[in-house]
Amino acid sequence: MTWQGGLQIAVFAALVTAAVKPLGLHIAGVAEGQGASRFGLRRVENGIYRLAGVDPAEEQGWIGYAVALLSFHVAGIVLLYVLQRIQSLLPLNPQGFAAVGPDLALNTAVSFATNTSWQSYGGETTLGYLAQMAGITVQSFLSCATGVAVALALVRGIARRSVRTIGRTPEYLGKKIEANEVKMAMVALLCVPAFILGLTAIAAVLPAGLAGPSNAGPHGFSEMLYAYTSAAATNGSAFAGLNANTPFYNLTLAAGMFAGRFLVIVPVLAIAGTLARKLRVPASAGTLPTHGPLFVTFLVGTIVIVGGLTFFPALAIGPLAEHLVMHAGITY
């Protein structure tokens, strides 16, 4: 490591550490509805509210929240797409990079707006400084910020309304989980594997999909399965050996990233909305405490069983098959 590299790491660590308390208090203030009261940001925030025609005192239902969030991302994805497509005409492109191709631009726009950071391209040889600064970096921040906004909505949904009867212990959430919350949780849970497995299946039968993996047999299948898993889980990593910078992979992976982000966020917001409406109820003999071993066993069992049932068939013809034939001396 060069001394400049070491210095950069040290300065970064010092800045992050120094920011913990002031930034933490600021975020807590925003989360608790006091607005941006610190760092003199109140005026800036009020200006943005006025510009957007938003009344900060007015609360939003979950549907409005979801529609606003999606609309925000329409603008973000379109802006990032356009920035890449016209980068050759824009300033701050000293290397003179050409416009990014349409399918790659769409893939990259969806990737960074969904916080996946999947890159089908070489960053240093494809994007100019403006597209990196005003596009990629901004969306990297905004996608995290919208994730925090959704998490806060869920926390508010659970935490809203004080106990009417007796007090609550810190562990007890006090909101009845009913059929509707379970339905929404199932939708959130199932739409991601549906896209992962569906898109992998399509890639495994179409010539355009089969052209992607550079390895044959189960290893090639694993490359495809991992790519769609990584995309729909908004993770963004890939097996070496998959050439994903093709129109087929750019578009199908974009679909996976889109679904993995937004089709999960919407039912989570729906759960937040329905929980917020519920009254807190005191714990009784009929309560299943969420901090006890029984609930933890149910939870872990559900994860293992649902995860196993969902992914085992695909894993069997991918990594498991590869491992078994490896013992017979066959590699791909």
Residues that bind another protein (CB under 8 A): 63, 66-67, 70, 74, 77-78, 81, 85, 102-103, 105-106, 176, 178-180, 183-184, 187, 251, 255, 258, 262-263, 266-267, 270, 273-274, 277-279
Shortest distance, position 73 Cβ to another protein, whole Å: 8
Instruction: Between 184 and 233, name the residue whose CB sits nearer to another protein.
Output: 184
Instruction: Between 189 and 317, name the residue whose CB sits nearer to another protein.
Output: 189
Instruction: Between 48 and 182, name the residue whose CB sits nearer to another protein.
Output: 182
Shortest distance, position 292 Cβ to another protein, whole Å: 23
In three-state secondary structure terms, 99 is: coil
Instruction: Between 213 and 256, name the residue whose CB sits nearer to another protein.
Output: 256
Instruction: Between 184 and 232, name the residue whose CB sits nearer to another protein.
Output: 184
Lookup result for tokens 């982000």: 261
The C-alpha torsion from 169 through 172 and 176 to 178, rounded to 10°, is 180
**β-pair partners for 213:** 242
Q: Which amino acid is at 150?
A: V
The sign of the torsion formed by the CA atoms of 166, 172, 175, 176 equals negative
Shortest distance, position 182 Cβ to another protein, whole Å: 11
Shortest distance, position 293 Cβ to another protein, whole Å: 28
In three-state secondary structure terms, 125 is: helix
**Distance between CA atoms of residues 309 and 314, nearest Å:** 10
Where does the chain show beta strands of DSSP type E? none
Residue 142 and residue 112 in contact, taking contact as beta carbons nearer than 8 Å: no
Shortest distance, position 180 Cβ to another protein, whole Å: 4
